[in-house]
Structure 1
Amino acid sequence: MLTLPNILTLSRILAVPILVFLLWRPSPLEYGITFILYCIVGITDYLDGYLARAQGTVSRLGQFLDPIADKIMVAAVILLLVARPPASGLPGPIIADWHLIPALVILLREIIVSGLREFLASLQISVPVSQLAKWKTTLQIVSLGALILAGALPQWAWVHMLGLGTLWAAAALTLVTGWDYLRVGLKHMD
C-alpha cells in the first residue's frame, strides 16, 4: 500500500546510493551537498512515522521498511565515513582510531537486533520499538550529520568533535537498547 508515509520511507532507501556516491568523492562541495540531502532524509524519517500515525495509515509495509531504511542509511554512512578521508584539513578518515569502537557497536547491535527480531517473529512475538530506541536513532542521525558536515567544513574542528561525541552517546544508547531487546529475546529461548 503506497501511502505518503510509505513513499517517504522508500525515498530514504532510494537516497542511500546517492549519499554513498557523494561521500565517495571527498571534497567540501560533495560533503556539503551530502549534508543537505542527509538532512532532508533525516526529516523524512520523522515525517513518515508522524504522518502514518496522524492519518491513521500505519501499515505493515511501513513497519517493515522504516527500520530497514534507518539501518541501511546509518550503516552506509558509517562505512563511508570510516573508509573515506575528509576533503582537507583533517588527517585520515572522519571516523578513525578509538572512534571506530562506537561505530562498530552501532553496526553490530543492528545485526544482532535484526536477527533477534527475525527469531522472535518466527515465534509470533512482536517487540515494539521503545522510546529510548527512537532517541538512539535520533542521536545516530544527528551524529552522522555532524560528521558529514565536518567533511564540508574541515576548518571547524568543533563540528567534528561534536559529531564524535554524539557518536559515543549514540553507541551508549545502542548498548542499552540492544540489551533491552536481548533480555526480551532470552525469555523465549530454550
Structure 2
Amino acid sequence: MTSETKLLNLPNILTLSRIAAVPLVVFLLLFESKQNCFWAAFVFTAASITDWLDGYLARKWHIVTILGKFLDPLADKLIVMAALIMLIPLDRVPAWAVFVILARELIVSGIRSIASSEGIVIAASDLGKYKTIFQMIAIVGLLLHYRYYWFFGVQFDFLYPSLHNAGIFIFYISLFLTVWSGGDYFVKFFKLFAKK
C-alpha cells in the first residue's frame, strides 16, 4: 500500500469532512434563525457521528495513520470550540465556561507535547472520552435551542421541552468532566515525570 493510499483512506476522509463542517456551522450561526440553528445542529450531529465512525473503521481495518492520529483530536477540538464560541454572542453559553474549556484543551495539549518530547506517553483517559461525548450532546441541544413542534404543529409545550434547558444542563456536566479530566492529566503527567 502506497503512502498516498494510506493518507486517502476512508477514516481520514471522514476526519477531514469533520474539519470541513466547521466553517459551515460557523456560517449558519452567523445568520442565526430557527431554521439555521436546526441545520447547524444537523451538520454538527453528522460530524460528531464521524468522530466515532472514523476511529472504529481505522481500528477495524488496521489503517491507523500518523496523519489520522493528528487530525482526529484536532477535528474534535475545532468543531466543538467553533460551535461554543459562536454560541457566546447568542447568549446560549457563558463566556467564562467556554474559556475554561479552551484553556483546558490548550493546557492538556501542552502537557502531552512536553511528555511526548521526553518519551512519556499519556494515554487518553475514559474521562476525556466522556467529556467529549457530553460536550457534543450538549452542543446539539444548545444549537437547536428552540421548541420544535414536530407532530403536525401541535403546540403543547409540555410535550416539547426546551432544548436549550436540556443542552445547558448537559453542558455543565461536560464542564465538570472537562475540569476533572484536565486535573487527571496533570496528576498522570507528574507521576510519570517523577518516575522518569
Q: Normalising by the residue count of structure 2, what TM-score does the alignment of the two structures yield? A: 0.84
Q: Does 1:174 align with 2:181?
A: no
Q: Does 1:119 align with 2:114?
A: yes
Distance (whole Å) between structure 2 residues aligned to residue 77 and residue 153 of structure 1? 20
Residue 185 of structure 1, CA deviation: 2.0
Question: What's the counterpart of residue 89 of structure 1?
Answer: none
Question: What's the counterpart of residue 35 of structure 2?
Answer: 29
Residue 58 of structure 1, CA deviation: 1.5
Alignment partner of 2:26 out of 20, 30, 44: 20
Q: Contact 1:27–1:152 (CA<8 Å) still a contact in 2?
A: no
Q: Does 1:61 align with 2:67?
A: yes
Distance (whole Å) between structure 1 residues aligned to residue 147 and residue 85 of structure 2? 17
Aligned residues: 179
Alignment partner of 2:80 out of 24, 49, 74: 74
Note the residue ranges of structure 1 that are not aligned, 5 or more in a row.
Answer: 86-92
Residue 118 of structure 1, CA deviation: 1.4
Alignment partner of 1:94 out of 72, 92, 95: 92
Q: Does 1:186 align with 2:184?
A: no
Residue 14 of structure 1, CA deviation: 1.2
Q: 1:114 is aligned with what amino acid?
A: S
**Aligned runs of 1:40-51 on 2, under 5 Å?**
40-51=46-57
Q: 1:136 is aligned with what amino acid?
A: K
Note the residue ranges of structure 2 that are not aligned, 5 or more in a row.
Answer: 1-6, 150-156
Instruction: Kindly report structure 1 stretches of 4+ aligned residues shifted beyond 6 Å.
Output: none
Distance (whole Å) between structure 1 residues aligned to residue 181 and residue 147 of structure 2? 32
Identity %: 39
Q: Contact 1:28–1:152 (CA<8 Å) still a contact in 2?
A: no
Q: Normalising by the residue count of structure 1, what TM-score does the alignment of the two structures yield? A: 0.87
Distance (whole Å) between structure 1 residues aligned to residue 119 and residue 19 of structure 2? 27
Q: 2:190 is aligned with what amino acid?
A: L
Q: Contact 1:35–1:148 (CA<8 Å) still a contact in 2?
A: yes
Name the SS of the counterpart of 1:21 in structure 2.
Answer: helix
Question: What's the counterpart of residue 144 of structure 1?
Answer: 139
Name the SS of the counterpart of 2:88 in structure 1.
Answer: helix
Q: Which has the larger radius of gyration?
A: 2
Residue 133 of structure 1, CA deviation: 1.1
RMSD, aligned α-carbons = 2.0
Q: Contact 1:5–1:48 (CA<8 Å) still a contact in 2?
A: yes
Q: 1:94 is aligned with what amino acid?
A: R
